[in-house]
Amino acid sequence: MKRILLFACSLLFCLSVYTVQAQANDPGQVAKDAASNHANSDMDNAADQGLNKAEQGIDNLFKKKKKDKKGTTATTQASTTNSTAGQGDDNSQNASGTQVPSIKTYQNYDFVAGDKIIFDDDFTADQDGEFPAHWGLTKGQAVVNKQEGFPSFTLTDGNYVEVYPKMTTKDYLGNEFTLEYDVYFETGGYGVYLMLHLPDVLDSQDGLLGVTNSEANYYSDQAGVSLQAAFPEAIAGNNYENKWHHVAIGYKNKQIKIYVDQYRVLVIPDCKMEFGSVTFGGVASQEAPIIFKNVKIAQGGSQNMIGNILTNGKFVTHGITFDIDKSVIKPESMGVLNQVAKFLKENSSVNMEIDGHTDNTGVAAHNLTLSQQRADAVKSQLVSMGIDVSRLSTKGFGDTKPISNNGTPEGKANNRRVEFVKK
């Protein structure tokens, strides 16, 4: 049944629209024809064609999936400005009162965000009830709405909905990238499906990656790959719904890793594909919308911390994040912090200065204080992980040392960073 559902999802994103009488069409050939027809289209035109795809028989499949998944419990499997929880509890409350995992639960987390942020949108600059400025719409309805007090991208009407980040180039992902977003599942919702597109072919049948309310899956008809994995029971079914969750995806050397909260839920060892761009979408309605926020796409992802420290004397990361105007570390920052702690434990003679940097939003004096508080928070976390306090010092620079143009959201995101400088 899962294979059928994945096939349906792939049709949703990948095949050209056909009628009820077209049941005998070969989906692989349809996809090949569509890719050929649109290989030379520009980005907007290709995206506009992206979800005018299969409607025959899929409604029933998704309705059946929704009914089956509601209230189910999955089997356990091993595994921008930005809140977190204290270390004493397994969970805490974020600013909206929603329960979120604490840093303590992320002690084995190994996801590391990419080196250079190329797209960053938390929707705070968009007007409630309007379509966001940095996105395009292929099909359906989508607006920014607040969910538990947070501006969020809400996809609804049209059943099949697809949106895409507006980029200056068609092929922006590169051969190594990371993608992160927060998703909110209302009861009965499906979740976000990501369509990964081949370079130069934005509407082709390539890779369909889904994170639902109980499993992660990947499907590519072209590559002949179909994999899925159930979530650990702690975040599956009823334990997943009506809560915010963090999704992180890493791609390197044709391997894909998918994380949900503190769990690594699915590894595709060889997806057999290289990708140029991505679109977001799925099945949505007013009763079961797709809701997500804090979308971040970055190039790179296997930051060579040891090499950078030994060669350049410092390590720069955008993977340690905080809530807006706060200095409490988000739990998904633990992938980087675990690497830093491991390095320091293995290199006992190395001392580090932790430098905090902000973008230029707000008052310069406040940013200076905030950057110092964030650097101090990182130091305190490393000390709690077993690093001797005498080996660590901190300094906040505020917005005085930008590395990117503060005139764009991505530039601001790259300027919000933590640097570890060898002493």
The dihedral region occupied by 300, where left means phi > 0, alpha psi between -120 and 50, and beta the remainder, is left
299, 328, 348: which is the final residue of a domain?
Answer: 299
In a domain, 115, yes or no: no
Pairwise CA distance, residues 395 & 374, whole Å: 9
Per-residue tokens: 147: 């969910």
Q: Is the pLDDT of residue 184 over 70?
A: yes
Average pLDDT score over residue span 372-397: 96
Most confident of 17-26, 145-154, 365-374: 365-374
Higher pLDDT: 346 or 159? It is: 346
Average pLDDT score over residue span 257-283: 92
In a domain, 278, yes or no: yes
The per-residue pLDDT for 8 is: 46
Same domain, 138 and 275: yes
Same domain, 176 and 325: no
Most confident of 36-40, 51-55, 213-217: 213-217
Which alpha helices (DSSP H) does 50-143 contain, by range?
58-69
Same domain, 366 and 394: yes
The per-residue pLDDT for 203 is: 53
The per-residue pLDDT for 328 is: 92
239, 268, 299: which is the final residue of a domain?
Answer: 299
Domain count for the chain: 2
Same domain, 127 and 211: yes
In a domain, 98, yes or no: no
In a domain, 108, yes or no: no
Question: Apex CA 294: angle with CA 180 and CA 370, to 5°?
Answer: 110
Pairwise CA distance, residues 335 & 178, whole Å: 13
294-to-80, 155, 157, 182 alpha-carbon distances in Å: 7, 15, 22, 6
Model confidence band, residue 313 (pLDDT cutoffs 50, 70, 90): confident
Q: Is the pLDDT of residue 166 over 90?
A: yes
The per-residue pLDDT for 29 is: 32
Q: What is the CATH number of the domain that holds 347?
A: 3.30.1330.60
Most confident of 48-57, 106-115, 249-258, 295-304: 249-258
In a domain, 362, yes or no: yes
Among 186-195, 283-292, 348-357, the least confident range: 186-195
Per-residue pLDDT tens for 217-269? 998 887 888 899 999 888 877 778 888 999 999 999 899 999 999 999 999 99
Among 37-51, 102-116, 202-216, 346-360, the least confident range: 37-51
**How many residues does the structure list for the chain?**
423
299, 333, 351: which is the final residue of a domain?
Answer: 299
Average pLDDT score over residue span 24-51: 35
Same domain, 314 and 286: no
Q: Which domain holds residue 256?
A: 2-80+122-299
Same domain, 292 and 263: yes
Same domain, 64 and 165: yes
Same domain, 52 and 137: yes
Same domain, 287 and 363: no
Same domain, 254 and 372: no
In a domain, 317, yes or no: yes
Contacts 24+ apart (CB under 8 A), 16-25: 16/52, 16/53, 16/54, 17/52, 17/53, 17/54, 17/55, 18/54, 18/55, 18/56, 19/56, 20/56, 20/57, 22/56, 23/56, 23/57
Same domain, 312 and 221: no
The per-residue pLDDT for 261 is: 92
Model confidence band, residue 31 (pLDDT cutoffs 50, 70, 90): very low
CA distance from start to end of the chain: 57
Q: What is the CATH number of the domain that holds 17?
A: 2.60.120.560
In a domain, 89, yes or no: no
Per-residue pLDDT tens for 334-354? 989 998 999 999 999 999 999
In a domain, 110, yes or no: no
Q: Is the pLDDT of residue 200 over 50?
A: yes
Which alpha helices (DSSP H) does 72-195 contain, by range?
none
Same domain, 324 and 408: yes
E strand segments, 199-254: 207-211, 215-220, 225-230, 244-252
